[in-house]
Every structure is written in C-alpha cells, then in structure tokens.
Amino acid sequence: MSAPRSFSLMLAAALVGSLPGLCLAVEPPPAATTSAACPALLNQTFPRLQDEKPQSLCQYAGKVVLVVNTASYCGFTPQFKGLEALHAKYKDRGLVVLGFPSNDFGQQDPGNAKQIADFCESTYGVKFPMFGKSHVRGDAVNPLHASLIKITGTTPKWNFYKYLIARDGRTVTSYSSLTTPDDRDLVAEVEKFLAAK
C-alpha cells in the first residue's frame, strides 16, 4: 500500500511542478497594501504590558478605539472596572479599550510592567489590551499620544484621560479624567462611532 501511495504523491508533485504559474504557497500582500489599510494614527508598535512583546496597533484598524492613560494608585483608578465593563459590552461590535500606564502625574504608577499587569488583573479583572508604561505628555511623549494631542489640540491633564478614535482612524474626540466609562455622552459617542461603517 505504501509504495503506490508514495508513487502517486511523487507523480502529483511532478505534475504540479510542471504546470507553469501554479503556486501552492500563498504570498503575503505587498507592504503598501498592508500599510494602506492601517491609518497613520494606528501605524505604530508598542510593547504589550504583560510580556513586553511588540504589538502593532494596526491590528485594531477598522475598530473604534478608546485610548486611556492609566495609573495604579490614583483617585480615578477604580475607572478600570468601568473600562473593562465597557470593553466587554461592546467588543463584539468593534470597540477596543487600550490602556497606557503612565507615571506622569504625581508618581501614581511607579511599579514595573509585571507589578502593573498583576495589579490590573487581580484588582479589577482587566482583560482589555494594556501596553508598557510610557509618557503621555512632555518632551518624551509616546508617538500615539503625540498624534492624539496634535489632532485634538488637548493634552492629558491627569490619569484616565480618554481619546475615542472612530473606525476611520482619523476622527478623534477627547474626554477628561472626570468622564467615567459609563458617562452618557461618552457611551453615546461610542455607539455612534460603532454604527458608522
């Protein structure tokens, strides 16, 4: 049985090899096509908080994205719970919450990546994507926040400042730290952006 099977496999390989233009391997799309599908605002890479593996924000192209600068020891820290609830409620419709820990305001997130990740998960059950600690204002501002500041004309004033990015990757609205994740205006804008295809 094995000899005829082996022969038929060799014959098939020979036939395939003799057909011009037939390719069994699927080639990746050209780089230009990939970057064209990703808006410039999201065409950036950040380390994942849990393991520092590089993550391209292009994976969120076409989604509604809520960017929040977070801190573990702030009066607004309980917003983690509401952010996770918002993410869970709307993720199947295309919303993703992205957390960017920062120690820019009052030394309220001094820990390392593992400490921050453990705190967020064990205290608030955070499952939405979180990225490595970075600056969200000043000379060393991370490139995403630099772009968001330029687009909106507003800089984070404190922890849990929010930027909501529409599916087009260009339309952005901003919300102060006082705006809770269940705020009526914020939720209405999320739903409006989700409805736009």
Per-residue pLDDT tens over the stretch 131-147: 999 999 999 999 999 99
pLDDT band at 12 (very low <50, low <70, confident <90, very high): very low
Q: What is the pLDDT of residue 167?
A: 97
> Across the chain, what does the average pLDDT equal?
87
List of residues 6+ apart from 114 with CB closer than 8 A: none
- pTM here is 0.82
Share of the chain above pLDDT 70, in %: 82
Q: What is the mean pLDDT of residues 178-185?
A: 98
- Strand partners for 163: 67, 174
The two tokens of residue 158 are: 């404190």
Supply φ then ψ for residue 140, to 5 degrees.
-100, 20
In the three-class reduction of DSSP (H, G, I as helix; E, B as strand; rest coil), residue 168 is classed as coil
**Fold of the domain spanning 38-195:** Glutaredoxin (3.40.30)
What is the dihedral sign for C-alpha 103, 108, 111, 117? negative
Is residue 96 left, alpha or beta, with left meaning phi > 0 and alpha meaning psi from -120 to 50? beta
Strand partners, 172: 165
72-76 average pLDDT score: 96
Q: Phi first, then psi: what are they for 58, rounded to 5°? A: -60, -20
Query: Confidence class of residue 75 from pLDDT cuts 50, 70 and 90?
Result: very high
Q: Is 38 a catalytic residue?
A: no
Contacts for 52 with CB less than 8 Å, ≥ 6 apart: 113, 132
Q: Would you say residue 59 has pLDDT above 80?
A: yes
Per-residue model confidence (pLDDT) at position 197: 78
**pLDDT at 78 (0 to 100):** 97
Average pLDDT over residues 163-176: 97
* Long-range contacts of residues 33-42, Cβ cutoff 8 Å, at least 24 apart: 34/58, 37/61, 38/169, 39/168, 39/169, 39/170, 40/147, 40/169, 41/144, 41/147, 41/148, 41/151, 41/165, 41/169, 41/170, 41/172, 42/165, 42/169
pLDDT at 69 over 90: yes
At 40, the pLDDT band (50, 70, 90 cuts) reads very high
CB atoms within 10 A of CB 39: 19
- The active-site residue, picked from 23, 38, 58, 74, is 74
d(CA 74, CA 12): 66
**What percent of the chain is modeled with pLDDT above 90?**
80
Which one-letter amino acid corresponds to residue 13? Answer: A
Instruction: Kindly report, residue by residue over 84-106, the tens digit of the pLDDT.
Output: 999 999 999 999 999 999 999 99
Q: Where are the domains of the chain?
A: 38-195
Query: Cα(96)–Cα(51) distance, rounded to whole angstroms?
Result: 20
Q: How confident is the model at residue 16 (pLDDT cuts 50, 70, 90)?
A: very low
pLDDT (0 to 100) of residue 33? 39
* Residue 8 in this model has a pLDDT that exceeds 60: no
Rounded to 5°, the CA angle 170-148-179 comes to 100
